[in-house]
Amino acid sequence: MMSPEQARELARAAVVMMPADEAEALVAAEHSALTRFANNRITQNVAEHNALVSVRAVLGRRVGVASTNRLDDASLRAACEAAVRAARIAPEDPSFPGLPGPHRVETPDRTFAATRAFDAEARARVAGAIIEQSSERGLTAAGKVRAAEHTLAVANSLGVDVGMALTGAQATVLSMGSGSGSGWASFLDADAAKLAPEALGGVAADLAERSAEPGALDPGSYTVVLGPEAVADVLDFLAYVAFSAKAVVEERSFMSGRAGDRVMSELVSIADDALATHAMGTTFDYEGQPRHRVPLVERGVVGLPVTDSYWAAKLGRKNTGHALPAPNSYGPMPLNIELAAGDATLDELIGSVTRGVYVTRFHYVNVEDPVSVLLTGMTRDGTFLIENGCLAAPLKNLRFTQSAVEALAGCKGITRDRSFVGTEESAVFAPALLLSSFAFTGQTA
């Protein structure tokens, strides 16, 4: 596996090769392995060793990009020439500010030996322990156990020269019973040593048993308690459609023209924070710029969106360090989203509901309207009717069609505990939420 120092050296070498006014090179190396299981056995087991060099050539205000995973000098030179060819032909972009210069970046060690040592046999043993929690109760388990090491480095001709490594370990488990019941649990951390497979498998199996023989619920708006996995889905879509400076400028975001306005409950604070001690991602973006903490929604009040060098210059704002790899038609993107913790326990949230719905997680969510963040999707793997403060009965999966912004305006409670959902490179840190109204529009028969 390439070290950060080796990746930086490779990036610097590519920059030197580039016959352009300005040059940038991004090196992304990865060693990842994933063990998949289903029907209580391992079904797929894969490993990948890869490294990619992406180069950006700048000629005046013209830009071209090329990438390759062939790392010999001739291939790197060919990639540089391809980027320059593209830049020569591209029309000038009058808004292009040039590549960003160097800034101090803290690069904490976010790698763990236990994750690096999480080999195929170790993953198989973990998969077996997870599966056993279901199989011994007559349930069927499916899921994955994954380990990855990443190295990212960025260099440019203005002196940017940064590199960092990180690790990630992940496990998921879906437990299914014969009576349409299913349960879910997941784990994500930089350190594989924190993974407790028996406990994880047990949570999913418990949910599967509790959710057997689910019943119907009439469509309508209900008070809901969303588990962290479901909350993470909502936050992911907010990040995708709303939190970028580009979306705000193009008036595709609920934040457009609303900075300083209260649009969500004052309990809701959402930030992007790669610098938090618990964060897992890199502390610099794909232009090598330091990622800053950005309060996107503070006590329900709309803040400012994330930027990269292009959109910061265009708007005359600070670069918050949220560039994606060039070329980037999405605009800047937050990759370390977290919703601030509250002071409740999950039992307290559920206990406060007279009649409502508990959702473990969603499935296949999509956006119908970007401005209101109108989402539709299904619940799965543990949906329950809440009555008088208790999970009274399992429910068949429900379809929802609901504005995320409006839902968060009705936030009445947040848990202290939060969970990481996603991947180590773009993890969402989410609590469970109590929302006063959530529109369920259909149900699977």
Partner 1 sequence: MNELIAAALESAKAAGATYADARIVDSSLEEINVAGGVVEGVEHSDSFGIGVRAIANGAWGFASTREVTPDAVVRIAREAVAIARASALVAAAPVVLSPLEPSRGVWSSRLDIDPFAVSLENKLALLAAADDVLRAQPEVTITKAHMGFKRQRIWFGSTEGALTEQSITESGAGIVAYAVADGEVVSRSYPNSHGGGWQQAGWEYIASLDLVGNAPRVAEQAAALLTAPYLEPGTRDLIIDGSQVGLQVHESVGHPTELDRVLGDEAAFAGTSFVRLEDVGTLRYGSEHMTVTSDATVPGSLGGFAWDDEGVPAQRDYLVRDGILVGLQSSRESAPAIGRTSNGCMRADGWNRIPLVRMTTVSLEPGTWDFDALVADTDGGVYIETNNSWSIDDRRLNFQFACEIGWEIKNGELGRMVKSPNYTGITPQFWASCDAVCSRDFWQVWGLANCGKGEPMQVAHVAHGASPARFRDVQVGVGRS
- For partner 1, the binding residues in 44-63 under the rule CB under 8 A are 44-52, 54, 63
Closest CB to partner 1 among residues 159, 179: 179
Residue 401 in the binding site for partner 1 (CB under 8 A): yes
Tokens 């950005």 found at: 294
Q: How far is the CB of 146 from partner 1 (least distance, A)?
A: 8
Per DSSP, helices labelled H in 243-385 are 245-249, 309-315, 346-351
- For partner 1, the binding residues in 357-376 under the rule CB under 8 A are 363-372, 374, 376
Using CA atoms, how far apart are residues 57 and 51, in angstroms rounded to an integer? 20
- For partner 1, the binding residues in 241-260 under the rule CB under 8 A are 250-252, 256
Closest CB to partner 1 among residues 76, 349: 76
Closest CB to partner 1 among residues 64, 342: 64
Closest CB to partner 1 among residues 167, 402: 402
Residue 176 in the binding site for partner 1 (CB under 8 A): yes
Applying CB under 8 A, the span of 109-117, 286-294, 412-420, 437-445 interacting with partner 1 comes to: 437-445
Residue 86 in the binding site for partner 1 (CB under 8 A): yes
Using CA atoms, how far apart are residues 70 and 14, in angstroms rounded to an integer? 12
- For partner 1, the binding residues in 316-345 under the rule CB under 8 A are 326-329
Q: Which of 12, 110, 146, 418 binds partner 1 (CB under 8 A)?
A: 146
x/- string (CB under 8 A) for partner 1, residues 375-394? -xxx-x--------------
Using CA atoms, how far apart are residues 145 and 169, in angstroms rounded to an integer? 8
- For partner 1, the binding residues in 261-300 under the rule CB under 8 A are none
* Token code pair at residue 209: 């048993």
* Token code pair at residue 164: 């960092």
Using CA atoms, how far apart are residues 66 and 69, in angstroms rounded to an integer? 11
Q: Which of 16, 19, 41, 136 binds partner 1 (CB under 8 A)?
A: 41
- For partner 1, the binding residues in 17-36 under the rule CB under 8 A are 32-36
**Number of residues binding to partner 1, judged by CB under 8 A:** 94
Residue 444 in the binding site for partner 1 (CB under 8 A): yes
Per DSSP, helices labelled H in 279-337 are 309-315
DSSP code string of 377-427? EEEEEEEEEEETTEEEEEB--EEEEEEHHHHHHTEEEEEEEEEEEEETTEE
- Are 184 and 382 in contact by the 8 Å Cβ rule? The answer is yes
Report CA 298 to chain centroid distance, whole Å.
Answer: 20
Q: Strand pairing of 355-369 and 220-226?
A: parallel
Q: Which of 153, 154, 174, 306 binds partner 1 (CB under 8 A)?
A: 174
Q: How far is the CB of 411 from partner 1 (least distance, A)?
A: 20
- Give whole-number Cα distances, 201 to 132, 196, 403, in Å: 8, 9, 33
Residue 144 in the binding site for partner 1 (CB under 8 A): yes
Closest CB to partner 1 among residues 340, 409: 409
Closest CB to partner 1 among residues 3, 69: 69
DSSP code string of 314-327? HHT----S-PPSSS
Q: How far is the CB of 238 from partner 1 (least distance, A)?
A: 16
Closest CB to partner 1 among residues 64, 100: 64
Closest CB to partner 1 among residues 402, 415: 402
* Token code pair at residue 366: 């999509």
Residue 3 in the binding site for partner 1 (CB under 8 A): no
Tokens 């976010």 found at: 110
How crowded is the C-beta side of 13, counted as CA atoms within 13 Å?
A: 16
Residue 198 in the binding site for partner 1 (CB under 8 A): no
Q: How far is the CB of 67 from partner 1 (least distance, A)?
A: 4
Phi (first) and psi of residue 208, to 5 degrees: -60, -40
* CB contact set of 101 (below 8 Å; sequence gap of 6+): 158, 159, 160
Residue 115 in the binding site for partner 1 (CB under 8 A): no
